[in-house]
Amino acid sequence: MLIFEFKTYGKPKQFTAVDDAIRTAQFVRNSCIRLWMDNQNTGKNDLQKYCAILAKTFSFADELNSMARQASAERAWSSISRFYDNCKKKIPGLKGFPQFQKDCRSVEYKTSGWQLAQDRKSITFTDKKGIGKLKLKGTRDLHFYQINQIKRVRLVKRADGVYIQFCINVDRSENIQSSGNSIGLDVGLKDFYTDSDGNTLSNPRFLRKGKKVLKRSQKRVSRKVKGSKNRGKARHILGKRHLKISRQRKDHAVKLARCVVQSNDLIAYEDLRVKNMVRNHCLAKSINDASWYQFRVWLEYFGKVFQKVTVAVNPQYTSQECSSCGEIVKKTLSTRTHTCRCGCVMDRDENAARNILSRGLSTVGHTGTFALDASNALGDKSSTQVGEILSEQVMSLIKESQSL
């Protein structure tokens, strides 16, 4: 599934209609959540049927396309099924009980309610909300795909305007020449990562660099009267500042992950539980700014695209264990150099990266130099799915990073 995004241009009344459609989608989703709370044994089909009842009861709900209402009901059922799965897996802590949505920013259409122009430069929404024809601006070319391949169309509202996402049913796969290289990555806060070859990449720290501008924008919001138009304008500017930083993080993660995957046949990285790590209020901002999870997501995505092996390993004791002899060498948090009795002396992060690579190779059943043909099916089977976390809790990286 490919997702192409375009920015839309139209008249103010059209974007007002977009806001109305988004609010209606939020109403349908929250109504389905309420139905599930009030009635036991409510299933997915019951929520789909309830959409028709809402359309007959409320005129503003009837104005929204029927498949868009069903898509909102599917969103509600997605949160419910995720809660059931977490309960069955006995995940510790909160199980993610479905909550009412307060600030919805998107509405999703399926295969009806919209019509794409022949030149693929505009789209017309045909439901009763009155959105009408919107112009599209982007770098992607939709002429390569048939209309029946577009399974979903989303209207997404952001700080700098309204965007349209096309979900296209295409399996992306590219074949490149095998490099015969394997690499282990140890992520950190001082350096974004250190690989098993001793190479390091500096942490860009986009949030830290834009901190001065964000503070100034936040002060302007605080000085304005609540509910005033000037406060709304200041909030809009602040939202655009945060949006720029989030896009910088994504661009960095995408380009870096693609480069790493194309240069290696096997990539081993740490199976970190970032959600637990950000509970440390001293490091939460720095960890979120590094965006390790986003980098991992794109690593696994490009691993499937280029048919490369991506392995998430348990990082416990990777910094303490000697990569040469395997002996546990305890270090203080301020010790950044690994020194072992066997004569091995190297940087602490490089030692951890070598241990990560060794564990990754043992996971896929290979030792020594690793070479993999791009057509080997192992590339799909060995890829670790995002969200599948090992049973052991990994907090060693937090302790290591406290000295930075």
Is the same domain home to 272 and 151? no
Whether 268 and 391 share a structural domain: yes
Percent of the chain predicted with pLDDT > 70: 90
pLDDT for residue 399 is more than 50: no
* Domain limit, last residue, from 168, 193, 222: 168
Q: How far apart are CA 288 and CA 278, in angstroms?
A: 7
**Residue 140, pLDDT above cutoff 70:** yes
Radius of gyration over every alpha carbon of the chain, rounded to an integer in angstroms = 25
pLDDT at 342 over 90: no
Q: Does 208 map to a domain?
A: no
DSSP 404: -
Our measurement of the distance from residue 220's CA atom to the centroid of its chain's CA atoms, rounded to an integer in Å, reads 30
- Tens of pLDDT, residue by residue over 348-378, are 888 888 889 888 888 765 433 333 333 333 3
Nearest residue to 325 via CA among 338, 345, 350, 342: 342
If asked whether residues 135 and 188 sit together in one domain, one would say no
What confidence score (pLDDT) does residue 379 get? 36
Instruction: Determine the distance from the C-alpha atom of residue 317 to the mean position of all C-alpha atoms in its chain, rounded to a whole number.
Output: 28
Residue 209's pLDDT is: 92
Residue 196, classed as helix, strand or coil, is coil
Q: Please state which of the ranges 159-168, 222-231, 331-340 shows the lowest mean pLDDT.
A: 331-340
pLDDT at 397 over 60: no
**9 and 32 both lie in a single domain:** yes
Spatial strand order in the sheet of 122-125 = 106-109, 150-158, 161-168, 2-9, 132-137, 122-125, 114-116
- Is residue 176 predicted with pLDDT exceeding 80? yes
Same domain flag for 73 and 193: no
Q: Which pLDDT value is given to residue 65?
A: 93
More confident site: 315 or 31: 31
pLDDT band at 333 (very low <50, low <70, confident <90, very high): low
The reply to whether 210 falls in a domain is: no
Q: How far apart, in whole angstroms, are the C-alpha atoms of residue 181 and residue 132? A: 53
Q: What is the pLDDT of residues 19-30, one digit of tens each?
A: 999 999 999 999
Q: How far apart are CA 146 and CA 212, in angstroms?
A: 47
Residues 163 and 281 in one domain: no
Let me know whether 309 and 369 are in one domain: yes
Confidence band of 58 (pLDDT split at 50, 70, 90): very high
Residue with the larger pLDDT of the pair 388 and 79: 79
Q: Are residues 160 and 190 in the same domain?
A: no
Strand 2-9, strand 132-137: pairing: antiparallel
Please tell me the distance from the alpha carbon of residue 125 to that of residue 153, in angstroms, as a whole number: 10
The residue among 146, 168, 190 that closes a domain is 168
User: Is residue 363 a part of any domain in this protein?
Assistant: yes
Domain annotation covers residue 225: no
231 located within any domain: no
Give the mean pLDDT of the chain: 85
The pLDDT assigned to 386 comes to 42
Q: What is the DSSP letter of 298?
A: H
pLDDT surpasses 90 at 396:
no
Of 88-92, 141-145, 400-404, the one with minimum mean pLDDT is 400-404
Domain limits for position 26: 2-168
pLDDT of 404: 34
- In this structure, what token pair is assigned to residue 36? 């599930």
Residue 322 is predicted with a pLDDT of 83
Within this chain, do residues 285 and 394 fall inside the same structural domain, yes or no? yes
Q: Which of 143-147, 224-228, 268-272, 316-320 has the lowest mean pLDDT?
A: 316-320
Taking phi over 0 as left and psi of -120 to 50 as alpha, with beta for the rest, 193 belongs to beta
91: Cβ–Cβ under 8 A, 6 or more apart, which residues? none
157 within domain boundaries: yes
Q: Do 34 and 155 fall within a single domain?
A: yes
Q: Which residue has the higher pLDDT, 267 or 332?
A: 267
Higher pLDDT residue, 174 or 382?
174
Over range 285-304, report the average pLDDT: 91
Band of residue 54 on the pLDDT scale cut at 50, 70, 90: very high
Q: Lowest-confidence range among 45-54, 211-220, 327-336?
A: 327-336
Q: Which residue has the tokens 């250190």?
A: 194
Give the residues across from 116 on adjacent strands.
123
Q: Look at residue 335 in the predicted model and tell me its pLDDT.
A: 76
Beta strands in 126-238 (DSSP E): 132-137, 150-158, 161-168, 182-187, 191-195, 200-202
Contacting residues for 288 by C-beta, under 8 A, at least 6 apart: 207, 278
Three-state DSSP class for residue 11: coil
Q: Report yes or no on 255 lying in a domain.
A: no
Q: Picking from 32-46, 220-234, 262-276, 367-381, which range would have the lowest pLDDT averaged per residue? A: 367-381
- Please count the structural domains in the chain: 2
**Same domain membership, residue 41 and residue 8:** yes
Is a pLDDT exceeding 90 seen at residue 164? yes
DSSP state of 229: H
pLDDT, greater one: 390 or 304? 304
Whether residue 142 is found in the same domain as residue 82: yes
For residue 227, pLDDT beyond 50? yes
In a domain, 14, yes or no: yes
